[in-house]
Structure 1
């Protein structure tokens, strides 16, 4: 069963904590890899996560392959599809290492 998440509080979390980061190739690659990793950890096929997130399969595929930069709202929709919060999404070591370099 998917966990109910607060879209407003999660959106505020990302804008407050990551608005200072200019999306660049390295940061984008971290985000795209995180989406792929979480999808696999949740044992979801690409089609399943796309459907659960309300985004196209092609769009999700492009994001996972780092061909398309996901916007904050798209990440929020993916988090909803995974049943996690934005805070949980951004809670991983590589992002901490990246933000500490800034």
Structure 2
């Protein structure tokens, strides 16, 4: 099972997220749930770094299906708003995958 955790601050801003585990919804290399979640999350990280010119704090391990990402503090308001929009888009995409394949994804908010 993929575990997706979003952490928000007191202003409801997404300040970090983590993914761990594997969906195990198909054979290795053919698991569409893992592929979809990976594409959405890594695509979001790449979009933030490329479009917002912000280097996120990223920890990733291929073996365990682990990705952790933290938004740096003290960004200007426009950059922060852009990052939040991209992260919210990621949340919507992963939630949509979970609606269809809920037994393979667990979403928590802290």
What is the TM-score of this pair, normalised by structure 1?
A: 0.38
Greater radius of gyration (CA): 2
Select the structure that is richer in strand. 2
Select the structure that is richer in helix. 1
